[in-house]
Chains A and B, each alone.
Chain A
Amino acid sequence: MAGTAVRGRLTWQTATVSSVADETARVRTITLSVPDWAGHRAGQHLDVRLTADDGYVAERSYSIASAPGEPLAITVERLDDGEVSPYLTEDLRPDDEIEIRGPIGGYFVWDPPGQAPLLLLAGGSGVVPLRAILRHRSRTGSSVPARLLYSARSLGEVIYQAELAQPADGVEVIYTLTREQPPGWSGYARRVDQPMVAEVAWPVARAPVAYACGPTNFVEAVAADLVALGYQPVKVKTERFGATGGG
């Protein structure tokens, strides 16, 4: 592929898979090597394009899982009827090549230093860009307090479980397991609702900023809950990925 990316223009680039790592039974992190990668901000995403032998093209957008400065990685959930995610999570091997373009997005991003306490709300694989934000916070030595409320069906479906079990100083991770809980579970065990958001959210007086990412109905609900608590709508950043993540 000739040429280099023109600044401000988005061009498809060939990425080589450096490694793959299973996060859960259905979720895999894919680390990519991209010679001309321009760097990214925490919370941005990239597009993946797959071209079949017959010329059929499928494109999907995935949140970047790694912090700026780390090797580029995406975390992909397999959707059984998807066109792209089964290939990415089951067939892709180190040294394989895929086409990507990015980074994309300037809205759902967090840049240090930032003074506002961070409230991160994840539904399922919506945790991916929030993980990039948490890693970026740690890598830049930020001391802003951060809370992650992560809704998953079961502990087995929690992505980045080992990493989130050892949060950085100033970071709290709160789970709600909506469908199945391990024996002795003392945490939340229901869908995120207004009382839960009220318990977890930073007081409005601390001028927090919230990032909510997940299925559309999850994001709609938590964003409305935060605004009802008095959060300014402009301080509630949202990213909705539909019912399932789109494939």
Chain B
Amino acid sequence: MFDGEPCSILDNDYVKPGKGQAFNRVKLRNLRNGRVVEKTFKSGDSLEGADVMELDMEYLYNDGEFWHFMATDGSFEQHAASQEALGDTVKWLKEQEIYTITLFNGAVLTVAPPNFVELEVVETDPGLKGDTAQGGNKPATLTTGAVVKVPLFINIGDKLRIDTRSGDYVSRA
């Protein structure tokens, strides 16, 4: 915990000038917004541990304000994520898909999508015949509203496999 924010420590180095006082230079990533800051601490200072845990949860539904998830461990435990916690993952949200939920003090801090999701195309220009082997691409809108670049032969109604880390089209599902 730093400044009331849950953080993960990316790097921690010990520095000691000559006969002087010892310090630790620490790189912290804010788990809420992903920002990285560098801070110096007096050696031996301690920070409160953040009560953070990760859970695999299945996406259930959106009630207009919150997105609801259910634990897959058989406990049927449910948690609701705010728009802020959901962040960009909203683009890859699909019912019955499993997401990694980070809980902080029992509330949803972040929602991480699986590396690959399969989503259906709802809008794109008509496919071009004979273009299956050619390069070139066009935008396609998916059921979630996400827009990805796809090959020219893709049609509305096709199911696509998307890499959520890059937002790239991988293959037809």
Partners in one complex: no
By a beta-carbon cutoff of 8 Å, the part of chain B in contact with chain A is none
By a beta-carbon cutoff of 8 Å, the part of chain A in contact with chain B is none
